[in-house]
Amino acid sequence: MTEFVDVPGGRIAYEAEGDAVVAAMPAGMGTVATAGGAGHYPHAQSPEAVAELVIPFLKEHAGA
C-alpha cells in the first residue's frame, strides 16, 4: 500500500518525499540518500551506514 504525504499544492507518494524536498531546494543544495533497511531513525538503527552517507556530504558542503 502506497502512503501519501500532503504538501502545499497536492499530495506525493511517501517514497518520493525525499525527491520532493530536494526539488524544492535551490539547485545543488540537496541529495537524496537512504540507509538500506533503516526506518524512521536511521541514525540509531544503522549508524555506520548513515555516517558513510553524511560525512562525505559534510566534507563537500561544509568545507571540512
For 4-39, the DSSP string reads EEEETTEEEEGGGHHHHHHHTSPTTS------TT--
Once rounded to an integer, what is the mean pLDDT over residues 47-59? 90
Once rounded to an integer, what is the mean pLDDT over residues 39-47? 87
Which residue did the predictor score with more confidence, 30 or 63? 30
Per-domain residue ranges of the chain: 1-32, 35-64
Q: What is the pLDDT of residue 2?
A: 61
- In which residue are the cell numbers 555506520 written? 48
Q: What digits encode the pLDDT tens for the residues 3-36? A: 676 777 777 665 677 888 888 888 888 888 888 7
Alpha-carbon gap, residue 44 to 28, rounded angstroms: 27
